[in-house]
């Protein structure tokens, strides 16, 4: 027997195995193993949204990781407060003047002045369609520490737009030196931490910036990781591999709470889940029918059974903790009153207990949102069950993008919607987007009688208290018309290890890594 081919065959197999092992090992680096062993303070944070880039003008992560900052920020009461800018004022309805603080430097040591901030905004507007659309700038002027913005149209809520993470101030000089590709992996901002390494989709290694203007960070290093799976994040928290973990799996909370070293902070988010009624549907054209359906939404059960207590029942589009937020009592389940309203709308129960009008049973088609939050597909089931008890049949159709379904179909009666209604501490942008024709959150083309003059006044008002009052008035009109049924404000569940001090999560999810964040 010729043994040479056999030997070659075996050698080939061994060669393949060696190649596989080399391939696995070749690119590996054993880093970070000793971090913290020198007595330095460090913490690990896990967030749910993986990031491909740290481009401060296209993603939130640079601000979240404490690398960049904005001219103004939201304070604990969700009001716009000074940050890199110490003060600001509207010179006229198109002109805003911001005065920058003295003594602030970027991570590369260059000074923050109005010219640097102007260059940053110019770069942002060129690179980010969202930022350009939000700011609507005609020009920017820089003089010393004074930055003057001229908008294309009156923009009374302009300061709130500057709160957004994509309005971060960066060093354009540093970008020119490093090149865009490298800069977007390690942006240079004014924040308390600078980027040591960024692995897209995986993690950011941060190290404190010794020249930070607002007091040097208490931690030496922070590891900011991403994982899209709630179960894995929760296990990472339970095994203490991470100190702060965002968006925990609610079903694991009982086990977490049993561990004295772990705590869960449940913060009402700025998101609202609601139903939109189809303005073209004859089934829900009568406001009495819409009000009756609103009464058949068992918000308490949704909060307790689906959200396990981690949500607030909603009676308007805005988080109730906001200065312009929802006030008063939310609508509780009320079968008898719903039936009375439906009867006054002409519906009568037939022999089978089904509600009919002119011999036609009341059958509604509900578009259920299958994406983003796990509770969204479950909420329609609770409503379907209560409606069936009242004699209304609800057919549920599932859609990944309800807004797209709405644009393409007219054969629906109500649809689930979910929006961040006040991401920057102001309700104006949502009210415009959701209730004016052509608004980006108004796929159903909902219109409310009497609302437009209020929105017009809101859009022309800069004074915060007056804006809050007008926002509340707008919500009252919207609730009266019942074009939407607001359901809940879901909570953000954040796991915090007891070794973490001087830190709590905010509803806005902007300021995660801070200079105050510390460990015991």
Give, as ranges, the residues between 464 and 483 that touch another protein (CB under 8 A): none
Residue among 490, 470, 508, 486 nearest 317 (CA) = 486
Q: Among residue numbers 164 through 193, which ones bind another protein (CB under 8 A)?
A: 164, 166, 181, 184
Of 236 and 284, nearer to another protein (C-beta) is: 236
- Contact track, another protein, 248-267, x by CB under 8 A: --------------------
Q: Among residue numbers 106 through 145, which ones bind another protein (CB under 8 A)?
A: 127, 129-130, 133-134
The whole-angstrom separation of Cα 272 and Cα 265 is 19
The whole-angstrom separation of Cα 441 and Cα 405 is 13
Of 96 and 237, nearer to another protein (C-beta) is: 237
**Which part of the chain contacts another protein (CB under 8 A), choosing from 22-30, 98-106, 168-176, 290-298?**
22-30
Q: Which of 65, 236, 458, 470 binds another protein (CB under 8 A)?
A: 236
Q: Which of 102, 229, 257, 463 binds another protein (CB under 8 A)?
A: 229
Burial class (CB in 10 A: 0-12, 13-18, 19+), 214: middle
Q: How far is CA 258 from CA 268, 391, 448, 493, in A?
A: 23, 44, 49, 16
Q: Which of 429, 461, 479, 491 binds another protein (CB under 8 A)?
A: 429
- Quick check: 69 and 189 in contact, CB under 8 A? yes
Residue among 144, 139, 474 nearest 324 (CA) = 474
Q: How far is CA 174 from CA 166, 190, 213, in A?
A: 18, 12, 19
Q: Smallest distance, Å, CB 25 to another protein? A: 6
Bridge partners for 160 per DSSP: none
CA 89 to chain centre: 28
Q: How far is CA 427 from CA 270, 451, 465, in A?
A: 10, 14, 12
Judged by CB under 8 A, the number of residues near another protein is 76
**Which part of the chain contacts another protein (CB under 8 A), choosing from 95-103, 360-368, 383-391, 435-443?**
435-443
**Which part of the chain contacts another protein (CB under 8 A), choosing from 87-95, 228-236, 275-283, 474-482?**
228-236
Q: Smallest distance, Å, CB 482 to another protein? A: 23
Q: Among residue numbers 78 through 97, which ones bind another protein (CB under 8 A)?
A: none
The whole-angstrom separation of Cα 431 and Cα 427 is 6
Of 50 and 349, nearer to another protein (C-beta) is: 50
Give the torsion through C-alpha atoms of 351, 353, 356, 359, to 10 deg.
-20
Q: Which of 40, 86, 241, 504 binds another protein (CB under 8 A)?
A: 241
Q: Which of 42, 43, 59, 100 binds another protein (CB under 8 A)?
A: 59
Tokens of 54: 């740290």
Q: Among residue numbers 268 through 307, which ones bind another protein (CB under 8 A)?
A: none
**Which part of the chain contacts another protein (CB under 8 A), choosing from 82-90, 437-445, 469-477, 492-500?**
437-445
Q: Smallest distance, Å, CB 109 to another protein? A: 27
| Owner of token pair 């809101």 | 458
Of 107 and 164, nearer to another protein (C-beta) is: 164
CB atoms within 10 A of CB 167: 25
Q: Among residue numbers 372 through 401, which ones bind another protein (CB under 8 A)?
A: 399-401
- Quick check: 200 and 86 in contact, CB under 8 A? no
Q: Smallest distance, Å, CB 236 to another protein? A: 6
Full 3-state SS string of 437-479: CCCCCCCCCCCCCCHHHHHHHHHCCCCHHHHHHHHHHHHHHHH
Q: Smallest distance, Å, CB 281 to another protein? A: 20
């Amino acid at each position: 027997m010729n043994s040479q081919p056999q030997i070659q065959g075996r050698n080939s197999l061994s060669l393949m195995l060696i190649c596989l092992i080399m391939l696995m090992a070749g690119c590996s680096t054993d880093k970070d193993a000793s971090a913290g062993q020198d007595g330095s303070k460090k913490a690990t944070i896990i967030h749910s949204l993986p990031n491909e880039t740290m481009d401060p003008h296209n993603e939130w992560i640079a601000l979240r990781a404490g690398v960049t900052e904005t001219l103004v920020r939201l304070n604990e009461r969700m009001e716009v407060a000074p940050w890199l800018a110490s003060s600001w004022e509207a010179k006229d309805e198109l002109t805003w003047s911001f005065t920058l603080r003295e003594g602030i430097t970027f991570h590369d040591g260059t000074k923050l002045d109005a010219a640097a901030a102007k260059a940053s905004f110019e770069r942002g507007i060129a690179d980010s369609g969202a930022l350009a659309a939000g700011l609507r700038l005609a020009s920017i002027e820089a003089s010393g520490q004074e930055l003057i913005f001229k908008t294309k149209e009156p923009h009374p809520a302009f300061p709130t737009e500057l709160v957004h993470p994509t309005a971060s101030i960066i060093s354009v000089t540093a970008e020119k030196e490093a090149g865009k590709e490298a800069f977007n992996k390690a942006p240079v901002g004014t924040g308390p931490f600078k980027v040591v390494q960024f692995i897209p989709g995986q993690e950011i290694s941060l190290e404190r910036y010794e020249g930070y203007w607002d007091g040097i960070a208490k931690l030496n290093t922070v590891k900011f990781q991403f994982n899209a799976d709630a179960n894995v994040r929760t296990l990472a928290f339970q095994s203490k591999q991470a100190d702060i973990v965002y968006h925990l799996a609610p079903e694991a909370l009982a086990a977490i709470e049993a561990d004295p070293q772990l705590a869960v902070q449940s913060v009402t988010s700025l998101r609202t889940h609601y139903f939109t009624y189809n303005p073209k549907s004859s089934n829900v054209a009568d406001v009495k029918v819409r009000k009756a359906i609103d009464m058949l939404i068992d918000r308490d059960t949704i909060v307790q059974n689906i959200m396990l207590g981690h949500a607030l029942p909603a009676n308007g589009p805005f988080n109730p903790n906001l200065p312009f937020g929802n006030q008063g009592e939310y609508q509780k389940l009320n079968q008898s009153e719903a039936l009375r309203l439906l009867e006054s709308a002409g519906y009568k129960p037939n022999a089978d207990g089904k509600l009919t009008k002119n011999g036609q049973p009341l059958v509604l088609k509900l578009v259920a949102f299958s994406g983003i939050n796990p509770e969204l597909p479950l909420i329609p089931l609770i409503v379907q069950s209560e409606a069936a008890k009242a004699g209304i049949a609800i057919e549920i159709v599932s859609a990944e993008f309800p807004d797209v379904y709405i644009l393409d179909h007219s054969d629906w009666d109500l649809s689930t919607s979910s929006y961040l209604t006040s991401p920057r501490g102001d309700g104006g942008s949502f009210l415009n987007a959701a209730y004016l024709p052509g608004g980006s959150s108004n796929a159903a083309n909902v219109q409310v009688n009497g609302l437009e003059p209020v929105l017009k006044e809101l859009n022309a008002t800069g004074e915060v208290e007056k804006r809050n009052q007008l926002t509340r008035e707008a919500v009252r009109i919207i609730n009266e018309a019942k074009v939407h049924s607001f359901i809940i404000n879901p909570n953000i569940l954040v796991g915090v290890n007891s070794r973490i001090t001087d830190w709590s999560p905010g509803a806005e999810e902007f300021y995660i890594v801070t200079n105050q964040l510390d460990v015991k």
